[in-house]
A and B are shown apart, each in its own frame.
Chain A
Amino acid sequence: MKIPFRNILIVSLLGLLIAAAQIGAVGSDIVYTYGEVVVHRRSSILPAEIGMPVGQGDVIETGGEAMAVISLRDGAEIKLRENTTLSLDSLGRRISVHLSTGGVFSRVNKQVISGFSVKTETAVMGVRGTEFFVAYGRTIDRYPDIWVCVNTGSVEVAIFGTQDTLIVEEGKGINIVGGTNLTSAQRYPWTRKLNWNMDPVAGEVIDRTDLEQAYSDLLDQDYD
């Protein structure tokens, strides 16, 4: 029986689409790990390995003293700090990830990615072409604080509950107090210690910044 070439082409394309849909997007993989890192995929938990493809729906989790770098479609990179849980919600031309715990550094190439957002429990950080950091801080009120720092470009922060928005410019950061109250963007000295590097060849990639520094140490408030 002769199968028409057109049918073969259609079946092949469908196969490719299904495969692409399964891994979410072509070229998204784990490029570096340190310490205990796992990928939650459907009902299974897989140990993360360098070169392991990741896709839409996957949840990457790092343990204490651990970290991971993920390349998303060659147009964005995400570095997870220790004790971080990140869901890859959407990996199409527009990328959306959800941060449940910990903190992430993001680097986005606007030539490739048309939209990139990091969602948290109470806010969303949307960017086009930038390098920024999002992390949970202390939980003092009902929701935890969220720290956002921008290294290059700018980030639009939107609060779900109040619909308040704010543009955070390059070199500045904000604390979303209690996850809902936007403070004014400013240059926080502690953010200068953040390690933005995601390339192990270029040097240390682990960010060891203690986020407790972001808060005023009352025992260090001494002026005479």
Chain B
Amino acid sequence: MNTRVLLISAVVAVVSTFSAAANHIPTAPAVVAEFAGRSTLLIDLGRFDPLVEVEGRLEDTNHEFRYRGLTAGAYLRLHKNFKAGAFYRIQQGARHDDDWIEPTAGVWKWVDSRDRAEQVLILDVSPRFLFDFLPGQNWVFTVKNRYLYNIYNSQHTLMVRPGLSYFLIRNREPLFTFSLNYGFYIPLNFGETFFYEHEPYLSVLYHLNRNVKLELTGAYKTVTWSTSEDSWANWDTYTVNYRAFVVGFGVLFPVTF
């Protein structure tokens, strides 16, 4: 009899502990649709190509205009098949693992980071290869590698994004570019998973003319939230996957001097 009571008590205790812990864990909605937009000015000075880009995203189930960023920097073409770039980005609305907080006891929420400016330093090395042995010949394989250092929280991230692009050429000029890429974000000093984010994405670029390009992208991203500082303080640990289908639009302005 005593054993039975003890067993039931133990089960109740464990269940209640899990229920309490569940409140500390951010819940991810079912796959949501998000929207992203960007506009980029790319200046072609030969081997040296500066660029300035503004971007924004309508995120979460309520499509809140949360993330926005301004990036400036330049690429240097070191070799026919190799470009390196360095960029500075200032951004607001970025969400990090530690933004899941408990401001008052028992109340958990995401920090509203829209007013929080973060500075990010980016280094880019991207080898490219002409895959003209494929049918149609106008294929380019790229591996975009980016190292990102977020000064705000000292997070180091490595992005690796292999991609294959096909250029539809008319009168010796590209008319459309179709690209299939897969981006992997590897957290170097944070998180509890090997990939913080990963996403396959498809993009179509319409070369309206030499100076205006229109872009449409579709990505299926998976972001893994790992235990925040406040959750650690409560002795909770978790990893939660947030999934979204992101539709993106872009207007690009390449200018050649």
Contact = CB atoms under 8 A, between A and B. Distances in A.
A221 B252 contact: no
Interface string A183-224: 100100100000000000000000000000001101111111
B89 interface: no
Given A189-B257, A218-B130, A218-B138, A223 B169 contact: no
Interface stretch (B14-22, B25-33, B172-180): B172-180
Nearest to A177: B171
Contacts of A220: 77
Contacts of B80: 219
Nearest to B213: A223
Name, among A140, A145, A175, A220, the residue most crowded by chain B CB atoms within 10 Å (CB to CB). Answer: A220
B50 interface: no
B81 A222 contact: no
Q: Interface size bucket, B side?
A: 20 to 34
B96 interface: no
B128 interface: yes
Interface string A139-180: 010000100000000000000000000000000000101000
A181 interface: yes
Contact of B130 (A145, A183, A219, A224): A219
B42 A223 contact: yes
B172 A219 contact: no
B140 A219 contact: yes
Nearest to B169: A216
A145 to B, nearest CB: 7
Interface string B57-86: 000000000000000000101001101000
Given A219-B128, A223-B42, A223-B205, A189 B256 contact: yes
A147 to B, nearest CB: 10
Contacts of B162: none
Contacts of B128: 219, 222
Nearest to B166: A218
A12 B214 CA distance: 73
Given A189-B256, A189-B257, A221 B174 contact: yes
Contact of B81 (A175, A186, A215, A219): A219
Contacts of B142: 222
B77 A175 contact: no
A145 B205 CA distance: 26
B254 interface: yes
A221 B40 contact: no
Interface of B: 40, 42, 44, 53, 75, 77, 80-81, 83, 126, 128-130, 138, 140, 142, 144, 165, 167, 169, 171-174, 177, 205, 210, 213, 215, 250, 252, 254, 256-257
15 contacts: A140-B172, A145-B172, A181-B171, A189-B210, A216-B167, A216-B172, A216-B173, A218-B130, A219-B80, A219-B128, A221-B165, A221-B174, A221-B177, A223-B254, A224-B40
Given A189-B257, A215-B172, A222-B126, 19 more contacts: A140-B172, A177-B171, A186-B210, A189-B44, A216-B172, A216-B174, A218-B167, A219-B80, A220-B77, A221-B167, A221-B174, A221-B177, A222-B75, A222-B128, A223-B42, A223-B205, A223-B213, A223-B250, A223-B252
Shortest Cβ-Cβ A-B pairs, 4 listed? A189-B256, A219-B128, A183-B171, A223-B252
Interface of A: 140, 145, 175, 177, 181, 183, 186, 189, 215-216, 218-224
